[in-house]
Structure 1
């Protein structure tokens, strides 16, 4: 029997099984009822004549890296061996027929432009360079630390585009920008080596939820299609069994904070302020946890019904790990307290019902939205590595 590490290596190699021009691979392309449509994109800048941290993060002429470069290690594939999606195409919500009700999607909304990025696609590509609400962004997903982050691709006057470096830091995706070939931590959105060392990307709240919940909440939204220019076995999980609390993380060489098992699922908030890890299982049991975030009342909640993408051979067969949200617990100056119902959440003050994405769908506040708090659904080992002073709730 192959070890888990061998299976993860096989998964990483499978994720990079086709060349970046879409040739190769051994899978059957999907069929979709409507042609997927490319969206207008903000053009990234050209490659600059600068020393490359992708080639050597300690090269002469580069600033000192902010991490020990010995800890930036190869994950197996070469740069862009796991090919990012640079020309994403989208389908209207009503045209999507390839997702199961409980399949996980990444939800991002900027200036009213609501988009879903199915993890069955993201798990094979990890990065989508996109433009949402006229904002150039990269939507990223790292299966090894089970973390989704969306960042603004603008740094000063530069508009960047990102690729997969093939390297890992703390078992998390290391990206590189194609303009300066600096290296970036997917988890923090910070350049850790290269010309842009120390630069930080602005980020946007991303939620992971069930397809059915996102579809019902965003009937006029857009969904990343499987028309990616690459042949992949979309719907299959190339890392079966990785979502097992008893298995060690892949290529994680740090010490695991022994407060929790390494692969414990947590909701992480306040990475740059008061880092807090909320254990997923107790949150799912309770439904709602109230918390204070730097003096502001907030709420974390969880709703069953979303499959783990990293559990079974097929994404849709994954165990139910639910969906989470974190929001400021006020609306129009009024403090709100919440309890979970069968299909959402109700506030005690007005009796309005709210969906997992923080929108009131019934009651006096129907149509209102809570302010989202950036959070990550992730594994404990990763959160504790990047936020070692974190508190743990409950």
Structure 2
């Protein structure tokens, strides 16, 4: 019976990792694939490599938090409990995909383990409080950092890193010399090469941050119970993620690559960079975080910062001046110098349709927070009242 439960636990853990790979590859490398910079196979391969690097280096700290520190006794991680916790995490992934809002596996994993800890009266309230505090603070940081970038730096960054695609190969192999060398394509500019490099580097950074935060969601209960060693668990989870990145992620890569026109590439790079850095920093201190919530607030902050260029700070605080427009992230001021803050004509901020949709944002944030709450209470009721667990 023990061997059967362990196999079931490993299968569910692999299912969670598989879905993590499918869900995270698109946001990380969708811009590069959509711009024709990378193929889907290369994108999946980069996702697999950098996810593993993030999991192996920083990710083990989050595994420790969920597997050993969130509860005061790891004895409650029986195989039956582990299978149930992983079932709740996998169920959250399915629910999020079904309703069209990606559920935070990190927050759901914390909720399911917290429900187990509550039922067994073994929840480490101090650790739980620290995690929840950062869940509140991190999106606020993302909003203000992105808002400052949008207000003061976006236009200049846009001129420097926006990807302008030219016809023909990006680089070519020059075989005329004694030693072959790589040269720019016939129509490639240095600006295009730089922008392309930025897109790929940001994708790798996002893959790394996903590894630091998400590896725990697949393996923490099994590592906490001692059924999997830390290193073996990281390799096992990373292989499952790589499988998802190279298979089902192809659909999300298509979707995000073709929908990029709704979010300017420069804006996507800024949002990805801010979100990935915050998630990685939280993982370094052992805090599992939701990339989607942080990225959503980063988008809102960036849009607010762009829109309020037409007002002074005082007017913005008082609610005067121009309200944030849906398309305020878009726009390339070209080579012209920007007017001073508060002197920019609202008509000079180009518009785009539904770049920031308040109702969609509210639905994402609501569901991202609701699913972990449901997971917590469902896990608590299951572990508390089902005789099998004996709590």
Q: TM-score range by the shorter chain?
A: under 0.3
Determine which structure has the larger strand proportion and give its number.
1
Higher relative contact order by CA 8 Å / sep ≥ 6: 1 or 2?
2
User: Which structure has the greater CA radius of gyration?
Assistant: 2
TM-score by length of 1: 0.20
Between structures 1 and 2, the one with greater helix share = 2
TM-score normalised according to structure 2 size: 0.20
